[in-house]
Structure 1
Amino acid sequence: MSNELIISATQDGSRIALLRDKTLVEFHNEEEGSKFVVGDIYLGTVKKVVQGLNAAFIELGYDKDAFLHYLDLGPQFGSLTKFTKLVRAKKIFGKLEKFTLEQDIDKHGKIATQLTKGQIIPVQIVKEPISTKGPRLSCELSLAGRYLVMVPFSNTVSVSKKITSSEERKRLQRLITSIKPANFGVIIRTVAEGVEVAELDKDLRNLVKTWEDGIAKLAEAQTADKLIGELNKTSSILRDLLNESFDNIHVDDKKLYDEIRAYVRNISPDLENIVKLYTGRAKIFEHYGIEKQIKSAFGTTVSLKGGGYLIVEHTEALHVVDVNSGNKSNREESQENTAISVNVEAAKEIARQLRLRDMGGIIVIDFIDMRNPEHKRMIYQAMKDAMKDDKAKHTVLPLSKFGIMQITRERVRPQMNIVTKELCPTCNGTGKITASILVSDLIEKTLEDLLSKQNEKNLVLALHPYLHAYFTKGVFSQRVKWFFKYKSWVRMEKDSSMGMTEFKFLNKEGEEIQLTA
């Protein structure tokens, strides 16, 4: 199984696609300077304490106040508040070794006993703003590294349950206990299995430095200031997923390429050479077929290879997926066989869709009815197997007697939603356009103006693949005729994100030439 990361730099950030065996399984659109990312630690101010909810609303600079429940204060909240006061009073400077921890707070206590209006506290984002809700917060701070998760104000060392070898669990627990600083708890991640102590120590030192650098800002920070920022999306994906199964990381921007290569060199030097700078003529997402996969995967209707299809609908409360057999029903011997075949394929695709769109909350799936209870158990197991690589916390329930499956999936950020229906670039949705056959005349007229009157050189014409084929196919293609006519070769780029009659000219610096009507 091959894993590839394709990263396309944009004007506002980057688009990140994770391919597994050339199939798109994760897609992220990261904007520069985006705030309130899961894992970020901010300095907040208590705006309101609501005893009826046993929670408080915290001011973070977002238009909606963030939500902090008593259960999310964490057992070490007393230590956190004491430490914050000492740092703000400049009586302590970030070190925890000589700090005396407070007793754990009562887990069944009341919010009013711990927080008061106007109180300043460090908080961590656990859910990004979604719909009309502000961020969800926690005061149980943690810093994630590649092999370890560090928890300040604790001394517990725990090992991931996915590490099953008792000898390896004891080895890791013994090693981390011997090297960790006092008053820092550590959770050992699954990827730490078999890792040497030098790598674990390096990861731990990096986390301690991140903590100390963040706390250094705490003394002078104002409300809504970010103390510790989570890695950008590219780096966090690499931190969590990078291993020997990764074949390539392709980047189309030199600056981003250098940053990613340096990061990979730091966390896994032996994999540095898999980071490659893409220099092809076509856009990187076009070259690897990602643009087409995005268009086909994010619509209301999702086709299955075997002939069936899914209908995906979203509401405020839940997501609904309807499984349909389509023309698959003509290929099987019986209705039950058709149902099993389509349902198994649908389970795999639904698991991919949940991860790809980052759908969270309650998901209800209406599978095709099956009469045999054993077949229902088969679909339940197929769904669990398909979702085992999903990093988000989730619960899958068996099919009900009505053929309905319910899934809950952790929702920590807004769902990825991409509009796949294109607005006609010529009519702007009115339904009427000028004759499409005239678009070639318009392109040639524009080309003549640019070459003859504006003396542009090294022009690039970006247009829909259908138009690209029209102008380039054949020995004496339209592009060849232009060359003889204007004594200038026009380079053409396919761009399937453009409308059928849409086009644009780029100059030799790659900047779009603004055309006058």
Structure 2
Amino acid sequence: MVKELIINSAPGGVTIALVQDKQLVELNKEQINNNYAVGDIYLGRIKKIMPGLNAAFVDVGYEKDAFLHYLDLGPQVQSLLKLTRQARNGNFTDYLLSSFKREEDIDKSGKISTILSKDLLLPVQIAKEPISTKGPRLSSDLSIAGRFVVLVPFSDVISISKKIKSNTERTRLRKIVEGIKPKGFGIIIRTVSEKKGVAEIQKDILDLVSKWETLMKKIPKTGPAKRILGEMGRTSTILRDILNADFTHVYVDDPALFEEVKSYVHEISPEMESIVKLYKGKEPIFEHFGLEKQIKASFGKTVNLAGGAYLVIEHTEALHVIDVNSGNRTANPENQEENALQVNKEAAKEIARQLRLRDMGGIVVIDFIDMHKAPNRKELFDFLKTEMSHDRAKHTILPPSKFGLVQITRQRVRPEMNIVTSEKCPTCGGTGEIKASIVLIDDIENNLNYILNEQAEKGITLAVHPYVEAFIKRGFLSKQVKWFFKYGQWVKVKGITSYHLTEFAFMNNKEEEIKL
């Protein structure tokens, strides 16, 4: 699997595309001055205690108060409060917690009113960015993420990623961390630490401890509702979390950002510094790598699949609904059950990509095509789980219900990616909207392939808007010529001025329209 990262810098922010085998699988946007990114730590001021919700509203400087539930306080919140008071009073200098006396863990079923009070100052971490009309979701169970490990204050526990399967490797990593872990801190060993040496892991831990010291030194000087420690930029965070030997290129179109990315890659993985390239082409970087068309084709209400099936994706306030449709093309008309399984598996693969691409979170309900055989339903369920295993977001997949619905819950920590996929119609003065013209030729070719190969029609005429006719006939190796070499027959192209820009139709040799 070949992976590439394409980074487009613009005045409004940075857009990062993760590409696997030339297919877009993730799209991330980093806004300039995004002060409420996941991982940022603020000195929050408790604004209101809500006993009925067992939660508190916290002022972190956002226009809406942030939400902190009792279960997100963390077992050592009393130790954090104690340390904050000492630091604010200037009575604490042991930033490494080696001599700090921890408080007792709080009761898991306790009440928030016994822990927090109005106007109390408490360091909090952004767990979910502001989404829709809601403010940020907070946690006071602080952690600082690095390349190979995560540092957890007020803990002595060493945890290892479940994705590291080898018992020998797990034992080796545990012994390494036990020998270098600072007192008073827990460590979570990340998946990318597999097969890494002592020096790399130790450097990562030392960097995180240095960040913790910076955090503690800032607490006395930081005002309420101000940021104490910021997470890295979205670009660096993605590189930190996913960069591995599978990556062949990281392309950046901005010289300043290129130097920043190259410097960070050199710091975390020096042997991969050479894969970072500065894109100097004249056309936009996403256009050059064919991503603009993929973005337009992948977002929107309807998503077409290669075999003629399609997905319909609807969004509501409470959940996302995905309907799988087989369309008008079937691979095997004799076996509907087998057809349903093939379409469902094709849809499952695309759905797993769509969830990552749009960063859809919360509850997702999928209405697959009905299948009557239990082994086929299990095969689909297992296939979907395998496809979703590449997703870095936490998720749970339930088996198909008796109504044939599959339910997925997926972690939502950022607003969903939303790309406008329609363009203003040039023939109606902007009063309506049409499908993006960038994918028009793909639609024409898909239908042409169906008519010529599956319906075996001869003497086809394609009727289109004159602008589209000119595009198809343009150049020595025009689309029309390429179709001749591909299908072995000449396809006439006829311009009709009454057609709107994206309208097209196919005529047979009797000048009758072929119904699709």
What TM-score, normalized to structure 2?
0.83
One-letter amino acid of the structure 2 residue matched with residue 70 of structure 1: Y
Point out where structure 1 has 5 or more consecutive residues left out of the alignment: 433-465, 476-499, 502-517
Q: Which residue of 2 aligns with 1:63?
A: 63
Q: Distance in 2 between matches of 1:166 and 1:304?
A: 41
Going from structure 1 to structure 2, the CA distance change for 1:236 and 1:332 (only over 3 Å counts) comes to farther
Does 1:16 pair with 2:41? no
SS of residue paired to 1:353: helix
Paired positions, count = 445
User: Partner residue of 1:44?
Assistant: 44
**1:278 aligned residue:** 279
Report which stretch shifted further, 413-422 or 342-351. Answer: 413-422
Shift of the 332–236 alpha-carbon distance from structure 1 to 2, 3 Å rule, reads farther
- Measured in 2, the distance between the counterparts of 1:333 and 1:426 equals 44
State the match for 1:219 in structure 2. Answer: 220
Q: Does 1:299 align with 2:325?
A: no
| Separation in structure 2 between the aligned mates of residue 410 and residue 318 of structure 1, nearest angstrom | 13
Residues 96 and 209 in structure 2, CA contact (< 8 A), matched pair in contact too: no
- Alpha-carbon contact 1:328-1:338 (below 8 Å) kept: no
Report the alpha carbon displacement of residue 160 of structure 1 after superposing the two structures with TM.
Answer: 1.5
Per-residue Cα deviation, 1:459-497 (whole angstroms, up to 9, x for no partner): xxxxxxx79x86x9659xxxxxxxxxxxxxxxxxxxxxx
CA separation of 1:186 and 1:428: change in aligned 2, threshold 3 A: farther
How many angstroms does 1:166 deviate by?
2.1
The letter of the residue matching 2:30 is: E
Match of 1:319 in 2: 320
Q: Deviations over 1:322-346 (max 9, x none)?
A: 0000132265432112111100100
Match of 2:25 in 1: 25
- In structure 2, the partner of 1:90 is 90
Distance 1:332 1:60 in 2: 60
| Code of the aligned partner of 1:209 | S
Q: Specify the SS of the correspondent of 1:141.
A: coil
Deviation, 1:209, is 1.0
Percent of paired sites with the same residue: 57
CA deviation profile, 1:183-234 (whole Å, cap 9, x unmatched): 1110111111111000000100111111111222111111221111111111
Aligned-partner SS, 1:354: helix
Indicate the residue corresponding to 2:487 in structure 1.
none
State yes or no: 1:264 paired with 2:265. yes
CA separation in 1, counterparts of 2:100 and 2:331?
72
Alignment match, 1:250: 251
1:376-418, Cα deviation, whole Å (9 max, x unpaired): 1111011100000111111111112222111111111111111
For the Cα contact (< 8 Å) 2:146–2:240, is it kept in 1? yes
Q: Do 1:323 and 1:365's aligned partners in 2 also have CA atoms closer than 8 Å? A: yes
User: Equivalent residue for 2:350?
Assistant: 349
Aligned to 2:369: 368
- The alignment's TM-score, normalised by the length of structure 1, stands at 0.83
The alpha-carbon deviation at position 430 of structure 1 amounts to: 2.9
* Residue of structure 2 equivalent to 1:129: 130
Q: Secondary structure at the match of 2:328?
A: helix
Moved over 3 A (4+): 424-428, 472-475
User: What's the Cα RMSD here?
Assistant: 2.2
Q: Partners of 2:82 and 2:151 in 1: how far apart?
A: 20
* 8 Å Cα contact 1:77/1:140 also seen in 2: yes
- Please state whether the residue corresponding to 1:371 is helix, strand or coil: coil
Match for residue 7 of structure 1? 7
For 1:139 and 1:426, locate their aligned partners in 2 and report how far apart those are by CA, in whole Å.
56
Give, as a single letter, the amino acid of the residue that structure 2 aligns with 1:166.
N
Q: Are the equivalent residues in 2 in contact too, given 1:328–1:342 (CA < 8 A)?
A: no
Q: Does 1:416 align with 2:400?
A: no
**Which residue is equivalent to 2:340?**
339
> Which deviations, in whole Å up to 9, do the C-alpha atoms of 1:347-378 show, x marking residues without a partner?
00000000100001111111111111111111
The answer to whether the Cα contact below 8 Å between 1:367 and 1:403 also exists between their aligned partners in 2 is: yes
The aligned counterpart of 1:158 is 159
The change in CA–CA distance for 1:45 and 1:430 in structure 2 (over 3 A counts) is: same
Letter in 2 for 1:244: A
Residue segments in structure 2 that go unaligned for 5+ positions in a row: 434-466, 477-500, 503-516
